[in-house]
Every structure is written in C-alpha cells, then in structure tokens.
C-alpha cells in the first residue's frame, strides 16, 4: 500500500523524523482556513500517488491568503499524469539551502534493506542513477543488527553531505530506518531531504527536514498495524485486484491478454511462465487454492473476465486435494452464469481427472478447448488470443 505524502509525513513524525507541520484540506475553504492557521508563506501541495507533482504544477508557494486561495483553486481537480487531485496538504514553507535524497528499500536479491543517500536530491533520482551513479552512496543493512549510528554517519560522509549536517542527516537515517522496520515498510523515500539555511528560530545552526515522503507498506503486514490499515483507499486500487480481494481470490494483475487460472501458487506461476515461453503475455496470476469448489471457480472466472484486455483464458488444474470433477462442475456453472465470449483452454489432470474431462465433454461448452499437456495448452491459448486480436482489429 502506497501512502500519500502527508500520511507518510505523519508516520515519519511519529518516529521523530523532522517534517514541516501542516494540515490536509479537501476544499478551497478548508485550504484557506488551514493556510491562515499555518501562517504565511505556506506551500499548497497536491496529494496524489505519483511523483513529479512539482513539475506538473501541483506544488505552489503562497505568500498570503489570496495566493493560498488561488493555488488551492488551481490545484484541486487538477490532473497530474492521469490522477485527479481531490486532496491538498498545506504546510509552512521551508527555506532551502540544499536538497538531498534518502531512501530505504527492501532489496529482495540481497535479502537486506538497502539505504541510499545522495546530495543530488530534488530531482529525478533515476536520472542521477543513470548519469552519475557514484553520486549515490549505498549501504546494505544486516537485518539482525539493524542500522548502526557509525554506519549512518559514514554513509553521510561518503555521500558528500556538508560537514555541519552529517550528524543530523545520520540521525534522520536512524529514525527512517526505525520507521521502515517498525511499520513494516518496503520503501521509505525522502526527496528532497532539505538543509535549511540556518538562522531560523535564533539558533543559527542548519537543520535537516523531510520535505517530501514516499512510503510503501507491506500489505501482508497491515493486520498488525490497524492505524495504517485504515489509510487504505480502495478507490486508488486496481478494480480487478479489489474485486479479487473482496472474494478472497489470490490475484495479481499483469497487463497482458491471456487470462490465467490455476490451483496452487506454484502451478499458477509455472503457467505464467509457459504462456510467456509460448510467446503470450499473461494478463494475470490467479490461484484458486487447494480444494477449490464450484462457487470459487465461478468467482475466479468473473474476476478474470472483468479485465477487458483478456482475449483468451488458460484454465490449468492439477488435482491433488482439488478434485477435477468439482472443478469441471464449477466451470460448467460459471459458463452457464457468465456465458463468456472469450475462448477457454482447459487442462484438467490429477485426482478424478477422467471424470472431470468426461463432464466437460458431456456439457460440450461453446468456446472451450481441452488440452492434455501444459505446453500444448499454453500454445493453444496464445494462438487463440492472437486470433481474437486480429479479428477484433478487422472489425
């Protein structure tokens, strides 16, 4: 689950990461009231799940109430790379002496969290990584030992952080790491992490602050974090994935045109692989689980067919606990209810396979092709998807 910037900042604040204080707003009136309370100059920021808001005009400074109102009017309802802005975040404007970049991601390949720090912040970090990879200092953290203060300080030196802010930057990394671990995040990104010019508040010392926040939480851990779970916004999720979640079906959308349904995560993954190998593009990964009964099959078929890109479906079942006759009944029921127009290729094997195939033959469903091997089924479904693409293109 991705958090909006202000939700990420509120999470940071709970872990002692310095952030500007601010208020959310949903209307122009709320925005003006928030700006008055915060004081001027303030910043009006579009809250959408996408970066590059600044470049798109979704972040504007306001030096008085008139400007706050005009900015709120301009930004609410704005389209930022396909996303409409329904929410604003207003905060006290910060003075910026330098813009750094900091992030922590879970690197699955290395089986460890990776901390990255750069003094080239504020811009597209992918661009920095491509043009000047040495400008990003990296550190893999031993997950059992955690991030040590001396490592954080060394990373700051390696990145070329200004000497007077090495300690506060290192302290911020420690707190970001604590937030990353305790909230079970898979990504925490601060771009820009700013250095103030100093002299603010009379102390004269330069400070650091997280001016932006990007946080991704592990969906599978949300049950342990009720405070975070309530932040879930179903309207921001993919409609098919949402539908699958409601029905308790394990579904991941992949973007191709060959729908895939299998029992067991291992078989579903292998099915995705054989379809790709046969030259097809899988539309999804769907595991109906062991012992799938008729209703579950109907439900899963509905989820797959709700994706308009699906041109053909591969139904791959190997019966162990799952009985193929039950699956065949489910498929027949699903066809009676849904009457799909896209072709289905079915491979049924294992427990009660013979009975299952006999039931299907008896029902002689239109649009259903049976195959006895996985490779044969994959080749067939790819062929059917391609044929349906050409016919729809001819129409």
* Annotation says 241 is catalytic: no
Task: For the CB of residue 127, give the shortest distance to ligand GDP in the complex, in Å.
Answer: 13
Indicate the residue among 112 and 129 with the shorter CB distance to Mn ion.
Answer: 129
The answer to the question of residue 125 lying near ligand GDP (CB under 6 A) is: no
Q: Binding residue for ligand GDP (CB under 6 A) from 9, 53, 323, 329?
A: 53
Indicate the residue among 189 and 287 with the shorter CB distance to ligand GDP.
Answer: 189
The answer to the question of residue 287 lying near Mn ion (CB under 5 A) is: no
Q: Binding residue for Mn ion (CB under 5 A) from 71, 94, 191, 196?
A: 191
The answer to the question of residue 5 lying near Mn ion (CB under 5 A) is: no
Q: Please work out the total of residues on this chain that contact Mn ion, with binding judged by CB under 5 A.
A: 2
- Shortest Cβ contact with ligand GDP: which residue? 54
The answer to the question of residue 99 lying near ligand GDP (CB under 6 A) is: yes
Q: Pattern of binders to Mn ion over 203-242, x per CB under 5 A?
A: ---------x------------------------------
Which part of the chain contacts ligand GDP (CB under 6 A), choosing from 53-61, 62-70, 276-284, 314-322? 53-61
* Annotation says 183 is catalytic: no
Which part of the chain contacts ligand GDP (CB under 6 A), choosing from 49-57, 63-71, 180-188, 283-291? 49-57
Pairing label, strands 59-62, 79-80 = unpaired
Indicate the residue among 115 and 193 with the shorter CB distance to Mn ion.
Answer: 193
Give contact residues for ligand GDP (rule: CB under 6 A).
Answer: 43, 51-54, 59, 93-94, 96, 99, 122, 191-192, 211-212
């Amino acid at each position: 689950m991705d958090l909006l910037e202000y939700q990420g900042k509120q999470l940071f604040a709970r872990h002692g990461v310095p952030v500007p204080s601010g208020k959310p707003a949903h209307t122009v009136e709320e925005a003006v009231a928030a700006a008055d309370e915060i004081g001027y100059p303030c910043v009006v920021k579009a809250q959408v799940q996408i970066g590059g808001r600044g470049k798109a005009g979704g972040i504007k400074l306001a030096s008085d109430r008139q400007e706050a109102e005009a900015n709120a009017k301009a930004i609410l309802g704005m389209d930022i790379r396909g996303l409409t802005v329904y929410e604003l975040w207003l905060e006290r404007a910060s003075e910026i002496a330098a813009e750094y970049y900091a992030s922590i991601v879970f690197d699955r390949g290395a089986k460890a969290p990776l901390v990255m720090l750069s003094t080239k912040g504020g811009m597209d970090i992918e661009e920095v990584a491509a043009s000047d990879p040495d400008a990003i200092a990296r550190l893999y953290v031993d997950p059992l030992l955690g991030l040590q203060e001396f490592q954080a300080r060394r990373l700051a030196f390696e990145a070329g952080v200004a000497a007077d802010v090495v300690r506060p930057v290192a302290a911020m990394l420690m707190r970001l790491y604590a937030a990353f671990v305790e909230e079970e995040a898979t990504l925490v990104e601060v771009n820009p992490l700013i250095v103030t010019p100093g002299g603010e508040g009379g102390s004269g010392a330069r400070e650091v602050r997280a001016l932006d926040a990007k946080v991704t939480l592990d969906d599978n851990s949300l049950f342990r974090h009720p405070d975070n779970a309530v932040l879930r916004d179903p309207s921001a999720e993919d409609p098919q994935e949402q539908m699958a979640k409601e029905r308790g079906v394990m579904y991941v959308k992949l973007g191709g045109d060959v729908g895939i349904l299998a029992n067991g995560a291992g078989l579903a993954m292998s099915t995705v692989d054989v379809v790709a190998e046969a030259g097809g593009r899988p539309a999804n990964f769907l595991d109906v689980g062991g012992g799938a009964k008729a209703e579950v099959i109907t439900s899963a078929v509905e989820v797959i067919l709700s994706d308009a890109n699906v041109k053909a479906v591969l139904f791959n079942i190997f019966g162990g606990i799952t009985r193929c006759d039950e699956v065949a009944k489910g498929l027949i029921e699903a066809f009676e209810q849904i009457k799909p127009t896209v072709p289905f290729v079915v491979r049924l094997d294992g427990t009660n396979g013979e009975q299952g195939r006999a039931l299907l033959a008896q029902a002689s469903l239109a649009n259903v092709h049976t195959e006895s091997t996985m490779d044969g089924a994959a080749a067939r479904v790819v062929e059917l998807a391609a044929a349906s693409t050409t016919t729809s293109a001819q129409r």
